[in-house]
């Protein structure tokens, strides 16, 4: 049992929660809670840490034998967690490395492309929505928040394990490649000339959404095939980006059903 915060493994967990460069250097990320553990693909799990009380109350004092795991004293376990109310389980998961080709392997793919998303909760929620709407992949600009940020991981509710994603070095180049593959790019834009429900999304489709505060940059919006908008009542100008993504993705899902 780990009983000291000076333990090397404890220090690594703390650094993984705080610093993206450490996560990338180690090729790992941390996922907290029994649900994230139960849904994690076994081949991706590096190690599991269980609090002393969780082992006693939930596992009858016995550690699982089918995966690498270690018990941790409760006071030390709390230091290892990113959350205020630890659930007794932390998984070390190997990072995913998808290629653009993997996102495009299906005929008429449905994609979500995100530019400079800053809120980890928004990104995680959009990953969760993407899974529900049958999205084939999510493409991120270099300016997006880290997919492996602990808050993002929690917000995905397990979708991080199942929705392929790709970090683009140059989003404009990626859009050009998607067009060459027959994917129609729809930019969600305040000045969009057409309402989102006037379009057909049964062919290869990619929705392009921008930063929470500023929306899409004009340069990237100009790369889209069609600029669309979500009609607003009242005095609203726009929806939260994760809410907007849900509206668009589920319209595509409805049409494809």
Confidence of residue 193 (pLDDT cuts 50, 70, 90): confident
Note down the domain range covering 115.
100-256
Considering the chain, what is the average pLDDT of its residues?
Answer: 96
**Which pTM does this prediction carry?**
0.94
Do 114 and 56 belong to one domain?
Answer: no
Strands 28-32 and 89-94, sheet pairing:
antiparallel
For tokens 């928040």, what's the residue?
145
**pLDDT above 90: residue 36:** yes
Cβ neighbors of 201 (< 8 A, separation 6 or more) are: 110, 186, 251, 252, 255, 256
pLDDT of residue 237: 81
**pLDDT above 90: residue 151:** yes
Contact in structure between 171 and 52 (CB atoms under 8 Å) = no
Do 78 and 159 belong to one domain?
Answer: no
Confidence of residue 68 (pLDDT cuts 50, 70, 90): very high
Do 63 and 77 belong to one domain?
Answer: yes
pLDDT digits (tens, 9 = 90+) for 76-114: 999 999 999 999 999 999 999 999 999 999 999 999 999
57 sits in which H/E element:
helix 52-58
Contact in structure between 194 and 157 (CB atoms under 8 Å) = no
Total domain count, the chain: 2
Whether 123 maps to a domain, the answer reads yes
Whether 1 maps to a domain, the answer reads no
Do 80 and 134 belong to one domain?
Answer: no
Distance, CA of 74 to CA of 103 (rounded, Å):
41
pLDDT of residue 218: 92
Contact in structure between 49 and 90 (CB atoms under 8 Å) = yes
**pLDDT above 90: residue 160:** yes
**pLDDT above 90: residue 207:** yes
């Amino acid at each position: 049992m780990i009983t000291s915060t000076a333990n090397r493994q404890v220090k690594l967990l703390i650094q993984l929660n705080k610093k993206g460069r450490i996560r990338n250097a180690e090729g790992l990320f941390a996922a907290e809670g029994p649900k994230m553990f139960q849904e994690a693909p076994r081949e991706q799990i590096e190690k599991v840490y269980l609090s002393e009380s969780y082992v006693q109350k939930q596992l009858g004092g016995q550690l699982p034998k089918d995966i690498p795991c270690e018990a941790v004293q409760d006071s030390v376990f709390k230091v290892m967690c990113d959350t205020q109310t630890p659930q007794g389980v932390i998984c070390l998961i190997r990072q995913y490395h998808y290629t653009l080709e993997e996102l495009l392997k299906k005929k008429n793919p449905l994609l979500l492309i995100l530019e400079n998303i800053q809120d980890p909760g928004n990104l995680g929620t959009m990953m969760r929505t993407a899974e529900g709407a049958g999205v084939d992949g999510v493409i991120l600009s270099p300016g997006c928040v880290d997919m492996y940020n602990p808050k993002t991981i929690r917000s995905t509710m397990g979708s991080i394990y199942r929705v392929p994603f790709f970090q683009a070095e140059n989003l404009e180049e990626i859009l050009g490649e998607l067009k060459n593959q027959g994917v129609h790019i729809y930019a969600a834009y305040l000045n969009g000339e057409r309402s989102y429900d006037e379009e057909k999304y049964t062919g290869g489709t990619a929705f392009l959404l921008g930063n929470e505060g500023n929306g899409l940059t004009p340069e990237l919006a100009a790369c889209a095939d069609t600029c669309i908008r979500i009609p607003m009542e009242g005095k609203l100008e726009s929806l939260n980006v994760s809410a907007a993504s849900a509206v668009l993705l589920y319209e595509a899902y409805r049409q494809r059903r």
